[in-house]
Amino acid sequence: MELILEFERPIVDLERKIEELKQLHTGSIDFSDEIERLESKAQRLRQEVFADLSPWQVVQLSRHPMRPYTLDYIEALTTDFVELHGDRLFRDDPAIVGGLAYFDHRPVMIIGHQKGRNTKENLFRNFGMPGPEGYRKAKRLMEMAGRFKLPLITFIDTPGAYPGIGAEERGQAEAIARNLELMAGLPVPIISVVIGEGGSGGALAVGVCNRLLMMEHSIYSVISPEGCASILWKDGARASQAAGVMRIRATDILDLKVADEVVPEVGGGAHRSPAEAASRMGEAVRRHLAQLVGLSAQELIEQRYQKFRNLGAFLEKQPS
């Protein structure tokens, strides 16, 4: 069943009307003028609605189950992808996928969160929330990328790392910390792309990078709006209010100089035209990768270090 967000409904209703007229359009009955008028109206409506989305509406779009996921982008942008499984310690975690591929005729390592589109897939993928074994799998692949001098591309799309008791018992925090340490010193170019949700340490565990890109209707934050509302007001139902003050939209993250580029999505969001979304994102990754591959390992590490050291704002008080 197609999910229609409330603010999308007028657009979808208009598009359905256009489709009905196209099916009725025959040689003897000409609806071409009416179809053209409605298509122009639909185009204007899309521009108006998506030009002024609220933070909560962007959150809803970032979570849309028909948005392209990591495996969709891998299929669209790479060739000869070979998925690698397992952390060699506990088990394979389907919430993290990764492997070797060719991007733009260049061998790369790709790692990303993976969600499901229905209940069965989401249970298998644990709703895109990795356990420690998922992050240890990612660490193993990152080490391989460093050993074979392969550029690393990561796709971020998770509500956060899985907070279950089993995950904590198996060292969730330690696994994330190990990834942060490894990525900080990895001697290869790292480009991370937030394709949906970028939630907390579960996102950052594959996001210590030289360049951070964000799809236009993605979000990036230290906590979900629901979690923030639960802490501030003891009421998760006030998530939309929390989203309004958290500055989690891609444009906010760019203004904060955390992201390096926002990749525009087609009118209506990436789920309305996955192929075009992949094409735009692929062009951005290609451009940034071309700027990084000529740098030495030390230059890449130093650039990454400076990127994170320069985040945030502070005031220095002069001694009196």
- CA distances 63 to 15, 33, 105, 209, 287, Å, are 22, 37, 31, 23, 27
Q: Looking at residues 203-210, what average pLDDT do you find?
A: 96
To the nearest 10°, the Cα dihedral for 203, 305, 298, 254? 70
88-97, 108-117, 125-134, 304-313: least confidently modelled range:
304-313
103-117, 119-133, 236-250: least confidently modelled range:
236-250
Within a domain: 315? no
Within a domain: 130? yes
Assess whether 17 and 65 both reside in one domain.
no
Within a domain: 158? yes
User: Above 70 in pLDDT, residue 134?
Assistant: yes
User: Above 80 in pLDDT, residue 11?
Assistant: no
Within a domain: 318? no
User: Above 90 in pLDDT, residue 279?
Assistant: yes
Q: Which two tokens stand for residue 184?
A: 């900080």
* Strand ranges (E), 91-189: 96-103, 106-113, 152-158
DSSP 228-251: HHHHHHS-GGGHHHHHHHH--BHH
State the chain's mean pLDDT as an integer: 90
| Closest to 270 measured CA to CA, from 158, 157, 192, 191 | 157
To the nearest 10°, the Cα dihedral for 256, 208, 290, 214? -50
Assess whether 232 and 273 both reside in one domain.
yes
Q: Looking at residues 161-183, what average pLDDT do you find?
A: 95
31-45, 51-65, 75-89: least confidently modelled range:
31-45
pLDDT confidence tier of residue 319, bands split at 50, 70 and 90: confident
The structure's pTM equals: 0.89
Provide the CATH number for the domain around residue 264.
3.90.226.10
| Closest to 250 measured CA to CA, from 287, 286, 212, 283 | 212
* CA pair distance 128, 88, nearest whole angstrom: 21
Give the pLDDT score at 111: 98
Assess whether 153 and 116 both reside in one domain.
yes
Assess whether 264 and 287 both reside in one domain.
yes
Give the pLDDT score at 26: 64
**How many domains are there within the chain?**
2
Query: In degrees rounded to 5, what are phi and psi of residue 165?
Result: -60, -40
Assess whether 37 and 82 both reside in one domain.
no
CA atoms within 13 A on the CB side of 187: 8
Q: Which residues pair with 197 in a beta bridge?
A: 219
22-31, 265-274, 276-285, 306-315: least confidently modelled range:
22-31
Assess whether 70 and 39 both reside in one domain.
no
Give per-residue pLDDT as tens, 42-69.
677 776 677 778 899 899 999 998 999 9
User: Above 90 in pLDDT, residue 320?
Assistant: no
**Residues 188 and 152: beta-carbon distance below 8 Å:** yes
Give the pLDDT score at 35: 72
* CA pair distance 8, 158, nearest whole angstrom: 23
Pairing type for strands 96-103 and 106-113 reads: antiparallel
User: Above 90 in pLDDT, residue 291?
Assistant: yes
Neighbours of 78 (CB within 10 A): 19
Per the document, the length of the chain is: 320
Give the pLDDT score at 25: 62
User: Above 70 in pLDDT, residue 27?
Assistant: no
Assess whether 181 and 277 both reside in one domain.
yes
Give the H or E element holding residue 58: helix 55-62
Give the pLDDT score at 2: 62
- CA distances 151 to 9, 62, 77, 143, 236, Å, are 42, 26, 15, 11, 40
Tell which wins on pLDDT, 32 or 191. Answer: 191
Assess whether 35 and 128 both reside in one domain.
no
Assess whether 146 and 36 both reside in one domain.
no
Give per-residue pLDDT as tens, 209-228.
999 999 999 999 999 899 89
Assess whether 14 and 132 both reside in one domain.
no
DSSP 119-135: HHHHHHHGGG---HHHH
pLDDT confidence tier of residue 40, bands split at 50, 70 and 90: confident
Assess whether 67 and 200 both reside in one domain.
yes
Assess whether 41 and 80 both reside in one domain.
no
Give per-residue pLDDT as tens, 234-251.
988 899 999 989 999 999
Within a domain: 316? no
Q: Looking at residues 291-320, what average pLDDT do you find?
A: 89
Within a domain: 118? yes
Within a domain: 320? no
Within a domain: 267? yes
Q: Put residue 215 in one of left, alpha, beta given phi > 0 → left and psi -120 to 50 → alpha.
A: beta
To the nearest 10°, the Cα dihedral for 178, 180, 181, 185? 140
- CA distances 193 to 31, 120, 123, Å, are 43, 26, 24
Q: Which two tokens stand for residue 20?
A: 């009905």
The whole domain housing 43 covers 6-24+31-52
Give the pLDDT score at 84: 97
pLDDT confidence tier of residue 28, bands split at 50, 70 and 90: low
Tell which wins on pLDDT, 112 or 237. Answer: 112
Question: How big is the CA angle at 244 (ends 243 and 245), to the nearest 5 degrees?
Answer: 95
User: Above 60 in pLDDT, residue 177?
Assistant: yes
Give the pLDDT score at 301: 97
